[in-house]
A and B are shown apart, each in its own frame.
Chain A
Amino acid sequence: GIQVEQSPPDLILQEGANSTLRCNFSDSVNNLQWFHQNPWGQLINLFYIPSGTKQNGRLSATTVATERYSLLYISSSQTTDSGVYFCAVNGGATNKLIFGTGTLLAVQP
């Protein structure tokens, strides 16, 4: 099956800093989503981005499907950005998502 790898596994930032999170996947995909899991465990949809670039406020994402990776950019980070960021892909006949192991982000004031 498809393998999903995320990097870095952990990241500590000072408030106001920028960061880039990476998601590599091992096969072509039909669907790619980025999620933020906040410290209370809630999964928040950030982007549905099987290809191309999208922006939403301080966050943006780019997926280069032909090279099998996606990037999540966080600019001017805030303490509320803390949590775990997951990339998840679906490349098969079914619609099930395969999750990466996540990037744990801590933004310090």
Chain B
Amino acid sequence: NAGVTQTPKFRILKIGQSMTLQCTQDMNHNYMYWYRQDPGMGLKLIYYSVGAGITDKGEVPNGYNVSRSTTEDFPLRLELAAPSQTSVYFCASSYPGQGVDEQYFGPGTRLTVT
């Protein structure tokens, strides 16, 4: 099991560019999440998905889009990148069955927008 994998590890974008952050999990988890972590802070939820074809906004969704066409993949799209989107992005997954909903995190993508 690779767990949750994310690509790329690092990326520098110019203002106004777009990119997609990739996230894949091989644990057959139905729930997936995108968080961002700003320097010195905890993580904040951007978007989440409870299964293929179903997504919903989290706490800080502006400037991002997601899709969930398969159980395994949950890409995060940044359109018109802005300096405020400079952050570390974490993808996570969980399987809230049988009353246990432990989330597992990927290694993160460090994004700089200049």
User: A60 contacts which chain B residues (CB < 8 A)?
Assistant: none
User: Is residue B74 contacting chain A, with contact meaning CB distance below 8 A?
Assistant: no
User: Is residue B75 contacting chain A, with contact meaning CB distance below 8 A?
Assistant: no
User: A99 contacts which chain B residues (CB < 8 A)?
Assistant: 42-44
Which B residue's beta carbon lies closest to that of A86? Answer: B42
- Fill in one digit per residue for B88-108: 1 if any A CB lies within 8 Å of its CB, else 0: 101000101000111111011
From the candidates B35, B48, B104, B107, name the one contacting A94 in the complex (CB within 8 A).
Answer: B48
User: B68 contacts which chain A residues (CB < 8 A)?
Assistant: none
User: B48 contacts which chain A residues (CB < 8 A)?
Assistant: 94-96
Majority-rule SS of B interface residues: strand
- Fill in one digit per residue for A14-25: 1 if any B CB lies within 8 Å of its CB, else 0: 000000000000
A97→B103 contact, CB < 8 A: yes
User: Is residue A53 contacting chain B, with contact meaning CB distance below 8 A?
Assistant: no
B96→A41 contact, CB < 8 A: no
Instruction: List 9 tightest A-B contacts by C-beta distance, closest first.
Output: A99-B42, A48-B102, A43-B105, A96-B45, A99-B43, A31-B101, A101-B42, A95-B101, A41-B108
Query: Taking beta carbons and an 8 Å cutoff, which residues of A are in contact with B?
Result: 4, 30-31, 33, 35, 41-43, 45, 48, 86, 88, 90, 94-97, 99-102
